[in-house]
Each structure stands twice: as C-alpha cells, then as structure tokens.
Structure 1
C-alpha cells in the first residue's frame, strides 16, 4: 500500500488520473490532508463513500504518534518525541517567540555525523526521513496551534540529522511546504542548518529557494574542528567557509555561522580572533551558543564573562555576532537529548 501523505498535488493528480478519477478529487484530498489534518479517508466527507473506501484500500495516510511531550516551566517551549509506524523516533520543538511561533524539526532519525558535543549521534543514524514525514512533524504542531487560533510562522531544520545528507527529500519537503495548498510558508522564513556538506551547499544555492543557510563551525582552525566534528576530515573548514561565501553571493542571503562555546576548549581570545579573521569580508553573522551539557559528552558551559568577551572581540573586528537566547533548557531542548533518553530506557528493558 502506497503512502499518499507527502505527495504533491501534481503527483496525486497523476495517481488519480491513472485510475480514471476526476482531477479535482486530488485537490480535495490534498486539502483534507494538509489543511484539515485528516487522519483517514473516512474523515473526507465531501468524497463519495465508495471513493473513500477505494482510496483507503490503495493508500495509507502515514503520520507519527506522540510518545512524549515536555513543556518548559515558562510555557514558551514544547518538545515532542514523535514515533513513526516503523518505530523510528524523532524530536520536534515549538518555540513561542516574540515574533511568532518557530519550530525546529528533524530531517533524519538519529545522525551519523559524530559531532563530539551532540546527543543526536549517540545512537547513530536509523534512517532518512521522507518529505512526507518531515511535513508530518510540521503539521502535527500546526494542528495543535490551530486549536489555539495560532499557526507556525518560521521553521529551522536544526533538529536531529544532517539535512544535506538527505538532500532530495529535504528539497521536496521545502517545496511542498511552500505550496499554497499546504502552509504557503515563505522560503525566507526557513533556516537550514548544516555541518558543512560542501557539494550540497553549492547545489542548494542553485535551487532558487532563498532560505537562510546556517553553517555549524564551532572552531576557527582545522585541527580543533576535526576533533569536534569528524566531517571536517572530508570537508575542511576552509572549503566550508568558501562554500558559505559562494552561497551568499549566489542567493544574496546572509549566511549564519553557528559556534558552540565550550569552556576551556574553543571559547578563548585566540579562538575569537581566529574566527574574526576567518570570516572577514563575508556577508555573514555569527550565532554564539553556550554548550548545552550532555552528560555522556562531559563538556562544560563557558562562563558568562568568556561569552561576553568572545562576542566583544568579534564586534571589534566588525563581525556581527549574537548570543542565542536559551529556551527550554529545563526540558532538555537541545536536539537529540529526549530521543537518546527514550532509546536508552528501551535498551535497558530489552
């Protein structure tokens, strides 16, 4: 049985046409799936009963179920552990910001990038998510917000997984999300975070989607970045920054460089000056992120003084830098932590 959730309108029309069904039926089904959050064909009351039964026999509407929900004490951050029918689990986060509702979604179940500071890699990569599964993450939160008279305003692909290692599915998902019959989300309201998959960055620049690119650097020199991010062996720091420069030139969009600050490792004056030199002349900004400690990793947060000093050095070198506002620290909102805890608990039961 084929999954229909995640198909474009054109794909549905082609499917229905091959079955001698009227073309307008595809538009009706798409509206039920993506606007009215239908869970089954029986919900689609403006379709004849026999058609609903026929579609139900041929297609499945594959959505995840909620396993765990955590809400921060201030009520501004909610984290969801969603499980797909095959058992693959992902995390999605809702952040209620002053400028609207922002969500963070996962693009893979797990991750195999091996970054030393991240919980997402602790259990490795289970599999890629399909375009429909990523869309299901978004619509799960959109449906919840719609009951409050609100909606999803912005999105970051910054949860578990490396989006550019799931390139085709991610691009299909972004185009689908942009469609009027789905959420009509503007590309400029979307940020994609990558550890620096150079060829895919160049491909993304050619897609004609002016999304914001966020590149994880976390170190200003090759050897230190390799220690923190093994992918640096394949795509060295210098090549990653050059790809970021090309992306900015091609799209006209400012690139954001993420830099996790880890006490006594990459948060010193030397690193700040090296980072400023590395990014000089770029259409870029730096997002400084005090590390969210993961017990299995052993890294410590920098002091407030070292964070302020690092930011000040960048500013004096005319590098735009901000310190990420922390949200949801009391519910382990860093990507991968909830999923890892859930999987570890399941392993103990086996």
Structure 2
C-alpha cells in the first residue's frame, strides 16, 4: 500500500468549469472572448488530453498571461492518488479521489508489453449485485467523461507506458451513465486523445436492454460484454436484482439483434459461485442460452470479499464449464485472475480504506 499525492486536484473549483468538460467549440468561444487566436484551443487540448497536464503552468507554449487567465476561468480537475496497491503479478490497483471528495477505483494490468486499464464509470453502483463489493455500498454519483478519462491517464503516467486497451468493468453500471461513458470512449479512441483502437475499448453492462439497443447503433466498433452470471431466471434475479425487470428471454432476443446489426461477437461474463450458478442445471441452461448465439463466455473465478456468503467454484468445475460449452460450439475461457494478492474485487479497496479510516 502506498500513499501518493503527486497529482492534487484543484480545490478552488467553485463556479469554474473543469476544462475536461469543455468541447472544442467551447474552447474556441473562450479564446475569442480572451482575444486569443483559434490555434490556442488546439494547444490546450493537446496538453489536456494527450499530455495529461496537471496545471495550467505546465502549458509552456502558452503565454504566461494566458495561463493565468485560464486558471481564473477554469479548473484542471485532476485526481489525488489516495492508495496504490501493487500485486506480485505487476497489476496496480488505485483508489483515486476527485476534487469533491468522491473516490473511485481503477486497475492497471501489464502483460507482454501491453497495458490494460479497468476503469470505473460511477462512484459506487445502484445495481445491487449480491456478490459485488461495490453494490453493497450503493451509488454515490456518476462520473463525467473527463473523470473516466483521467483514470486511464493516471494509470498511463504511473506505468509510464501507452495504454493499449480499456475495459469499463470497474465500479458502476456504464449504461446507467451512458452519455458520459460514450464520451470517454470516443476521447480514448481519438488520435487527439489516447489513440486506442475502438475494438480494444470494452463496455461491460449488467444487461440494461434499452442501452444495448442504443449501443448497437453507435458508429464505432466498441466491444460489448454482458454480465450474465446465470441463464436461470430465478438465480439471475437473486444475484442481479438491478436488472430483474429485463428477462433473460428479452436479453437473448436483444443480443441476437445486436450481433445481426453489428457483426461483432459479444462476451458473456460469468462469475462461478460455488453451489449457486455452477450446478448441472445452471450449466445446461448456459449452454442453451449461448449455443446458437455468436458469443464468447468469460468464466471468472469469484474474488473473496469480506462478509460475503458466496465462495468461488473449484478450478475443476470451471474446466468442466469450458468443456461442456465447447461441446455445443461455444468458446469459453477462464479469466486469468489478476491481483489476487491485493484487494482484487471491485469496491473492495475503497471499502477497506474507509473501514480503516473509521477506526
């Protein structure tokens, strides 16, 4: 565990917009008001989105008087790294705090010269999934597109290497914060942002059906993952009460429409829970749900969470799921567990830090 205050959020943000929230058009209007040439907007955007500047003073190709004027008009946003945990496998988990005191988690996962980031879309989550540490704490607020983007840049700068993929699988339900998530994805994809290929940007949803339909109509080839966790309705309703109103039959139909419209293969996330969704009935239902769908099943070894009644299924059971799914023509893999020696579960680090502070 490490406490790092290398990047402090701007504390004097009253009535000053975060510059990450300003569009190119907004910046052009601002510079016209300040009597500055239009090219200044491009310079500022490069500092904000590509270089991840932490202060207007960092913008050394801008006149000092302009930097002062920008500081009076806008804030830089920014995050404070409250805690960093480093795993033996090289993964790093961060608890980051924004200027209003709200904190979120994100994770950097290096592998064979690549760097993946798991980012949060909300502080907390309202979906209430029974096995999730984040869901137990409830929702604090949604994040802005800039705040989501800043998580990725924080990890990039800490590793001092380019981020090659991002998964929106951290805290929150991304499709309950759709516009901000899409804005962050587009900036992460943009050559004037992080420059990450669209197919390497993944959104994971519990199955918010109206937003899956909307996502299918977006022009970019972003990747979709659906947290399934059971293909038996009563089990899924118990595990995932936040999407109880969306039936598995409806989800099945919508995912077929998604594949037909996009031609892209979605992933179904399935956390194997001993005695709950690893039974023969559950396996047979999962095979039936996936067999005629273009899909990949990502089997997850459940993280141990303090106070949880759920336990992970055995490795042998996970292998049996892979074998049986393969027998009906469905590719499945067991997700390599990263950071198992630290607070790996979403929301777990935040909970443990807050618990320690209350002592």
The yes-or-no answer on 1:169 pairing with 2:153 is: no
Pick from 32, 46, 51 the counterpart of residue 36 of structure 1: 51
Give the Å deviation of 1:102: 0.5
Q: Does structure 1 conserve the Cα–Cα contact (< 8 Å) formed by 2:227 and 2:269?
A: yes
What is the CA–CA distance in structure 2 between the aligned matches of 1:273 and 1:87, rounded to whole Å? 46
Indicate the residue corresponding to 1:204 in structure 2.
215
The answer on 1:341 being equivalent to 2:352 is: yes
Deviation of the 1:54 alpha carbon: 0.7
Decide whether the 8 Å contact of 2:77 with 2:99 is kept in 1. Answer: yes
Distance apart, 1:18 and its partner CA: 4.2
Structure 2 contact 107–117 (Cα < 8 Å) conserved: yes
Equivalent in the alignment of 2:131: 117
Q: Is 1:189 paired with 2:209?
A: no
CA positional deviation for 1:264: 0.9
- The 5 A counterparts of 1:194-273 are 194-273=205-284
Measure the CA separation in 2 of the matches of 1:205 and 1:331.
Answer: 36
For the pair 1:132 / 2:140, whether they are aligned, the reply is no
- List, as ranges, runs of 4+ consecutive aligned residues in structure 1 with deviation greater than 6 Å: none
How far off its partner does 1:275 sit? 0.7
Q: Which moved more, 1:164-173 or 1:268-277?
A: 268-277
**Match of residue 3 from structure 1:** 18
Q: Is the 8 A contact 2:273 2:311 kept in 1?
A: yes
Partner SS for 1:67: strand
- After superposition, give the CA deviation of every residue in 1:161-196 in whole Å (9 maximum; x if it has no partner): 000000111111111222222112111111110000
Asked whether the equivalents of residues 268 and 310 of structure 1 are also in contact (C-alpha less than 8 Å), the reply is: no
Cα 1:280–1:18 change in 2 (3 A) is farther
- Contact residue 127 and residue 243 of structure 2 kept, 8 A: no
CA deviation after TM superposition for structure 1 residue 6, in Å: 4.1
SS at match of 1:271: helix
Residue 85 of structure 1: CA displacement? Answer: 0.9
**1:106 maps to which of 109, 112, 120:** 120
Identify the residue that residue 72 of structure 1 maps to in structure 2: 87
Task: Give me the whole-angstrom Cα distance separating, in 1, the residues matched to 2:113 and 2:284.
Answer: 32
Distance in 1 between the 2:18 and 2:261 partners? 36
Task: Note the 1:306-325 alignment, pairs <5 A.
Answer: 306-325=317-336
Q: In structure 2, what is the equivalent of residue 94 of structure 1?
A: 108
Q: CA deviation at 1:71?
A: 0.5
Match of 2:165 among 154, 165, 177: 154
Q: Is the 8 A contact 2:208 2:243 kept in 1?
A: no
C-alpha distance in 1 between matches for 2:82 and 2:99: 12
Pairwise CA RMSD:
1.4
Runs of at least 5 residues in structure 2 that lack an aligned partner in the other structure: 1-15
Decide whether the 8 Å contact of 1:288 with 1:321 is kept in 2. Answer: yes
Cα distance, 1:123 vs structure 2 = 1.4
Distance 1:215 1:30 in 2: 34
Equivalent of residue 144 in structure 1, options 137, 151, 158: 158
Q: Which ranges of structure 1 fall in alignment gaps of 5 or more residues? A: none
Distance 1:203 1:35 in 2: 29
The question of whether the paired residues in 2 share the 8 Å contact of 1:327 and 1:333 is answered with yes
Give the conservation status (yes or no) of the 8 Å contact 1:293–1:301.
Answer: yes
Q: Is the 8 A contact 1:93 1:333 kept in 2?
A: no
Secondary structure of the 1:289 match is strand
Q: Which residue of 1 aligns with 2:28?
A: 13
Q: What is the rounded CA distance, in whole Å, between the counterparts of 1:124 and 1:32 in structure 2? A: 35
Corresponding residue of 2:338: 327
Match of 2:41 in 1: 26
Label 1:252 to 1:10 Cα distance change in 2 as closer, same or farther (>3 A): farther
- Structure 2 contact 126–242 (Cα < 8 Å) conserved: no
Does the aligned pair in 2 maintain the 1:189–1:211 contact within 8 Å? yes
Distance 1:4 1:315, change over 3 A: same
With structure 2 as the length reference, what TM-score do the two structures score? Answer: 0.92
